[in-house]
C-alpha cells in the first residue's frame, strides 16, 4: 500500500513538472516575442527566438532545481567500463537506424493518405538574419539534446527506475514522444527514446545519450543544407546501412527477450497518468497533436 502511495506521489510530481515545462515557456513566449517584435525583428524570427529562449530558461530551471525536489541524482558519472566504444558505436547505429526506419515508414503512410490528411510539423526553416540562424542551429544541435536528455533520460528515468526498468523506459519514451506535439515526430521519437533509455541504463551515465542525441540532430540539420546530389546519395546509403543493421538487431533482441507481462506494463503506464496533473498534461498534448492534423 505504501509503495502504491509513493508511486502515485512520484507520478504526480513528474506530471506536474512536465505540465510546467509545457505551459510556462508557452506563456513566456507571448511576452518575449512581443519585446523582440518591438525591437525590430520580424514575426517569424521573434517567435522562433522567443521559443528557444523561453524553453532554454525553463529547461535550466528544471535541471537546477528539480533533482533536489524529486530526490534524484542525475547520472553525471563516466560510463561503466563494460560499456565499451564498440558497444557505444552499435547503440548509435541502432538509435539512428531505427528512428530513420520508423520515420520512413510513417512518411510512406502519409503518402498513402495525402489526399485525406495533412500532418503539420514545427517549421524549423532558416530566417533572413544570420545571427538568428546560427542561434537556432546551436540550439538544435547542442542545447536541445543536452536539455532533453538531462530532463527525460536523466531526471525522469532515474525517478521512475525503482518501479521497474521496463515501465520506466516505456513511460519516459511515451512522455518524450508526446512532448514533441505532432505525429511525424512523435512516432519515430518514441523508438528513439527507447534505445536512448536502454543506453543510459546500460552505461549508467547520461553522457552517451547526450552525445548520440547531438549526432542525430546534427545529421538532421546538416542534411537539410546539402544540395550536392552525390553527398546526399552517400548519406542516403549510410542511412540504409544503419536502418538494416538496426532492424536486424531489434529482431534478434525481441526473439531473445520476448515482451512478457504486456498487460501489467500497460496498466502501470495508465496508472502513471491517473492524477490531475497527468490528465491535464495528456489533454493538452492530445489537443496539440490534433491541431497538427488537417483533414482535407
* Tens-place pLDDT, residues 221-276: 888 777 788 888 888 899 999 999 999 999 998 888 776 656 566 668 889 999 99
Tell me the average pLDDT across 75-89: 94
Among the listed ranges 38-52, 55-69, 160-174, 191-205, which one has the minimum average pLDDT value? Answer: 38-52
Q: What is the pLDDT of residue 266?
A: 63
Q: What is the pLDDT of residue 2?
A: 52
Q: What is the pLDDT of residue 45?
A: 80
pLDDT at 49 over 90: no
**Mean pLDDT, the chain, integer:** 90
Query: Taking the model in full, what pTM does it have?
Result: 0.92
Q: What is the pLDDT of residue 184?
A: 87
pLDDT above 90 as % of the chain? 63
pLDDT at 33 over 80: yes
Which residues have C-beta within 8 Å of that of residue 293, sequence separation ≥ 6?
Answer: 117, 118, 119, 120, 183
pLDDT above 70 as % of the chain? 94
**pLDDT grade for 72, boundaries at 50, 70 and 90:** very high
DSSP codes joined into one string, the chain: -HHHHHHHHHHHHHHHHHHHHHHHHHHHHHHHHHHHHHTT--HHHHHHHHHHHHHHHHHHHHHHHHHHHTT-----SPPPTTS-HHHHHHHHHHHHHHHHHHHHHHHHHHHHTTTTEEE--------S-HHHHHHHHHIIIIIHHHHHIIIIIIIIHHHHGGG-HHHHHHHHHHHHHHHT-SHHHHHHHHHHHHHHHHHHHHHTSSHHHHHHHHHHHHHHHHHTT---HHHHHHHHHHHHHHHHHHHHHHHHHHHHS----HHHHHHHHHHHT-SHHHHHHHHHHHHHHHHTEEE-
Cell of 278: 497527468
pLDDT at 58 over 90: yes
Distances (CA, A) of 164 to 87, 256, 265: 23, 19, 9
Amino acid at each position: 500500500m505504501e509503495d502504491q502511495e509513493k508511486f502515485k506521489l512520484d507520478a504526480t510530481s513528474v506530471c506536474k513538472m512536465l505540465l510546467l515545462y509545457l505551459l510556462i515557456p508557452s506563456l513566456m513566449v507571448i511576452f518575449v516575442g512581443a519585446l523582440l517584435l518591438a525591437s525590430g525583428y520580424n514575426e517569424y524570427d521573434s517567435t522562433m527566438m522567443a521559443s528557444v529562449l523561453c524553453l532554454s530558461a525553463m529547461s535550466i530551471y528544471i535541471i537546477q532545481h528539480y533533482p533536489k525536489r524529486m530526490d534524484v541524482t542525475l547520472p553525471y558519472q563516466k560510463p561503466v567500463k563494460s560499456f565499451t566504444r564498440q558497444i557505444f558505436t552499435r547503440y548509435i547505429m541502432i538509435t539512428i537506424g531505427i528512428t530513420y526506419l520508423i520515420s520512413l515508414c510513417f512518411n510512406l503512410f502519409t503518402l498513402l493518405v495525402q489526399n485525406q490528411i495533412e500532418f503539420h510539423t514545427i517549421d524549423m526553416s532558416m530566417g533572413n538574419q544570420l545571427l538568428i540562424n546560427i542561434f537556432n542551429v546551436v540550439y538544435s544541435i547542442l542545447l536541445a539534446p543536452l536539455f532533453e536528455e538531462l530532463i527525460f533520460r536523466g531526471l525522469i528515468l532515474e525517478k521512475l527506475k525503482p518501479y521497474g526498468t521496463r515501465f520506466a523506459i516505456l513511460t519516459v519514451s511515451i512522455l518524450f514522444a508526446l512532448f514533441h506535439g505532432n505525429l511525424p515526430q512523435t512516432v519515430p521519437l518514441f523508438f528513439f527514446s527507447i534505445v536512448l533509455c536502454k543506453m543510459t541504463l546500460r552505461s549508467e551515465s547520461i553522457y552517451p545519450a547526450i552525445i548520440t542525441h547531438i549526432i542525430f540532430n546534427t545529421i538532421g540539420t546538416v542534411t537539410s543544407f546539402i544540395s550536392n546530389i552525390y553527398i546526399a546519395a552517400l548519406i542516403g546509403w549510410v542511412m540504409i546501412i544503419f536502418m538494416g543493421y538496426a532492424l536486424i538487431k531489434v529482431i534478434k533482441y525481441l526473439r531473445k527477450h520476448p515482451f512478457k507481462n504486456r498487460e501489467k506494463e500497460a496498466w502501470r503506464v495508465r496508472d502513471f497518468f491517473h492524477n490531475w496533473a497527468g490528465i491535464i498534461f495528456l489533454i493538452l498534448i492530445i489537443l496539440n497533436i490534433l491541431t497538427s492534423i488537417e483533414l482535407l
